[in-house]
A and B are shown apart, each in its own frame.
Chain A
Amino acid sequence: MKRLPSAIFLLVLGACRAKEPSAGSASSPPTPPPAVPAPVLGFVDETRGATPVEGGILRRRLVGEPATLNAVLQSSLPEQQVLQYLARQLLDFDARLLLVPGLAERWEVSEDGREYRFFLRPREVWEDGSAVTSADAVFTIRQITDPKIPSPVFKPLFDDLELVEATSPTSFRARFRNRDALHAYAFAMPLLPERRFSGRPFAKARENRAPLSNGPYRLSSWKTQDAIELERNPRWSGPPAHFDRIVFRIVPEEAVAYRALVEGTLDETWIDQSLKERSARDRRFGACCRTVEFYNLDYNYIALNNRSPLFSDSRVRRAMTMLLDRPSIVRNLYHGSARIISGPWAPDSPAYDAAVTPLPFDPSAAAELLDSAGWRDTNGDGTRDRNGREFEFDLLSSAGAKTGSEIDQVFAAELARVGIRARVRPLEWATFVERIDRGDYQAASLASAASDANPDPFPYWHSSQSPPRGVNNVFYSNAAADRLMEDARRELDPGKRRDIYHRLHRIFRDDPPVVFIANASQKYAFRRRVRGLVTSPLGLYGFWPGPLAWWGIPDDSVAGGRGQ
């Protein structure tokens, strides 16, 4: 019987790949350490002074399969990752968070700040040779604003649109109902070819899985749940991308992606803290791969439902912030690679004022705040109470968020010491979200992911945006903050707008809507052969040119491993 499993392996042994020499194997000759940066915690630009190498294949990882490659319908990171190679945007963010020309070579804003005119580059074409026109731009924006079309990424950005129309084959104008300095951010959007969709049901069009490219690459094949392959777009006239082919492999599990990286069938993957620690001890990893770590604009927080009698008092919310031992969380859970925040932005956002120091971890001061708000243990049961109501609540978290759950446990333990009972309740993601969206919660662990550079806090914290109208689902309401958020939107001067944000930041610290926690570092692992990485507060991908600037050298050149 014991021989039988071996028989399975023997059956396929002939079919196995030949074992190619890999970096770090015992038979490999000793190789000097490659000249690439050691793991860093900061911003990287490897393109400076470097000469890119042309050709080869880049094997990237997708955590899940894109549901669509229609830029308007996109709703997830895998879709964004693939579309970045296929669909050029009207405007782009660069690595410093600035809006830069894309398909539009320039744009003008009317004096009242309501109307935008865009002028397209005349020589931009789709992969079939037809020109990219203003009709495509108008069509795309009209699809986004069509109530029958789900466009979760772009629809909120065009909520206020009054009209959009072509003014010539290469120019169009878009007018909004209200003045808003940040309307320009909406145009960091890809375009769709109008004539390919005309007369067809948009959401079910064949093009959604076979998009027409106007970017540096075009779709070569899509094997469902397995891989998506891109090849160079011969009609691309922009700056050259360096790899001949991009292969996206769909690998849902982190641990498997890590092994694939070491084995050489993937060139990059996102890693978590535990894999980062493992990579530091892993000899095979060190020989072939490296980690890249940097801060982006994401942050996490514990949402407190401001409508709840428990958290409606600003003093209680301040006390909750002072009861979360954030320095210890950064030290022990994030192992130092996170920054405590004092407001609703990450420290690298221009809206963040570094002078606004976070509230300290101070249980005694927090207890005094709770006392002053009327929450005292009057019945001697060990739990604070007020008007007959005990201070106890469910602290919801998503079952998939490991760090979030750990923070909740730390928080609940700290609260218990001052007489507050918090019950940590992990919920399945869709169930969790439904509770948050309905406002049917008291406290919950949440994260904020900034997919663009827009720092506008209005949709998330302005009192007019409480559900059902908007997404201020903590029901925060502060008249002074409301006024400043409105002023910031109207202010066209970036310097003055930043000053308003800084004043706002102080309010968010002193009258916190939630318990702001930290901006944790992002961690990625790369094969050493991949060069030209540039990191940004928008991550590795969310800006131009991002991954399109990467190039690859043969593995053999870095560590005696597999070549292409």
Chain B
Amino acid sequence: MTRYLVRRLLLAIPTLFGIVVLVFLLLHLAPGSPASAGGSPEAGRRVSAAAREEMRKLYGLDRPLPERFVKWIGRVARFDLGESFVDRRPVSERIREALPATLALNGLALFFTLAIAIPVGVAAGGRPEGPFDRTSAVVLFALYSMPLFWAALLLQTLFSVELGWLPLYGVSSDPAPAGIAGFSDRLAHLALPVTCLTYASLAFFARLVRAGVVEARSQDYVTAALARGLSRRQALWRHAFRNALLPLVTLLGLLLPGLLSGSVIVERIFAWPGLGRLYFDSILSRDYPVVLGLSLLGGVATLAATFAADVAAAIVDPRLREEA
């Protein structure tokens, strides 16, 4: 087991280096630069070549690419992600500011997705092609096909503008109430964005669970459980679902880093101050240090989650340990 884990860990190091090199190269070789990213189509833009050159020097972009990479990686090795080109603040500070909002949003969305998808998937997989399976498939695919942008605006119009039940955007009201009322206020602000993220990923998880349960219910151990006198529900949940859980655990390992990456569309529509918006804005403004910092964070989180999933899989499935 230890040998297996050490091998996985050692493999993660070159993988991370590869990710970092690739992101660095893609970012710097892409057309456009911080000097050309100012202004907007509506506002127009007039910056002379001399001014652009001054900006390039200021950001160190006049230096050769390998030199810039070595400098950046050297800073990263000292746990320094550099400074944002946009506001000259440390990248770590900008990430730290946006991280809690994204974690809260995506964490809650994942929780609700699983809370809904698992029972739906088990119930649908329990009687494949039954009325519930067919109905849930239609509903889930309808939700899956609904464009997020459109659905979010629709929900805002209904629940915020027409009914006035939920806040339209932002993380808190102005002025934000204190104490429990403040907590409730923040929950209310989470409701619509969490709903959007939840409905969008529901179909994927529910169908995955359903497929696992369908496969497991035809296994001998489920037949044996039913023969022992267990009810269909007990057989499904205690035996079929537990075995169907394995691919879900592996998948969760890959999806957990998504908690950090944020959702650009939802964060923009709900003016949510999270990492998705920061990432998107930083790419548009060619804020290389922030984009690299966030990519590095995403890379580390992905590798860590993959490693954790490998460990979990090895614990659950002894064959994996033996193969290693």
Contact = CB atoms under 8 A, between A and B. Distances in A.
Interface in B20-59: 30-33, 36-55, 58
B198 A155 contact: no
Contacts of A223: 273
Given A17-B173, A256-B169, A8 B44 contact: no
Contacts of A76: 38-39
A59 B175 CA distance: 12
Contacts of B48: 156, 467-471
B45 to A, nearest CB: 6
A251 B271 contact: yes
Contacts of B191: 8-9, 11-12, 16
A284 B163 CA distance: 12
Interface stretch (B72-80, B182-190, B303-311): B182-190
B41 A404 contact: yes
Contact of B271 (A13, A16, A226, A398): A226
B265 to A, nearest CB: 10
Interface residues of A, number: 77
Most interface-central of A203, A298, A433, A467 (chain B CB within 10 A): A433
A263 B168 CA distance: 8
Nearest to B143: A5
Contacts of A314: none
Interface string A146-180: 01101010011000000000000000000000000
A1 B116 contact: yes
Nearest to B164: A19
A111 interface: no
B112 interface: yes
Contact of A75 (B38, B54, B167, B269): B38
B44 A298 contact: yes
B86 A255 contact: no
Nearest to A57: B174
A147 B51 CA distance: 9
Interface string A85-96: 000000000000
B286 A430 contact: yes
A134 B285 CA distance: 36
Interface in B63-93: 83, 86-89
A227 interface: yes
Interface in A13-71: 13-17, 19-20, 22, 59, 64-65, 67-68
Interface in B113-168: 115-116, 119-120, 123, 136, 139, 153, 156-157, 159-161, 163-168
A17 B46 contact: no
Contact of A13 (B55, B94, B165, B274): B165
A152 B51 contact: yes
A434 B169 contact: no
B87 A259 contact: no
B269 A256 contact: yes
B153 A255 contact: yes
Contacts of B284: 429-430
A253 to B, nearest CB: 6
Contact of B36 (A67, A251, A437): A437
A430 B278 contact: no
Contact of A256 (B136, B166, B168): B168
A431 interface: yes
B195 interface: yes
Contacts of B317: none
B62 interface: no
A479 to B, nearest CB: 22
Contact of A468 (B50, B89, B171): B50
A400 B273 contact: no
B97 interface: yes
A309 interface: no
Interface of A: 1-2, 4-5, 8-9, 11-17, 19-20, 22, 59, 64-65, 67-68, 75-77, 147-148, 150, 152, 155-156, 203-204, 208-209, 223-227, 247, 249-253, 255-256, 259-260, 262-263, 265, 284, 298, 398, 400-401, 404, 428-431, 433-435, 437, 446-449, 459-460, 467-471
Given A17-B166, A429-B37, 8 more contacts: A1-B123, A16-B166, A150-B54, A208-B88, A256-B168, A259-B156, A433-B32, A433-B36
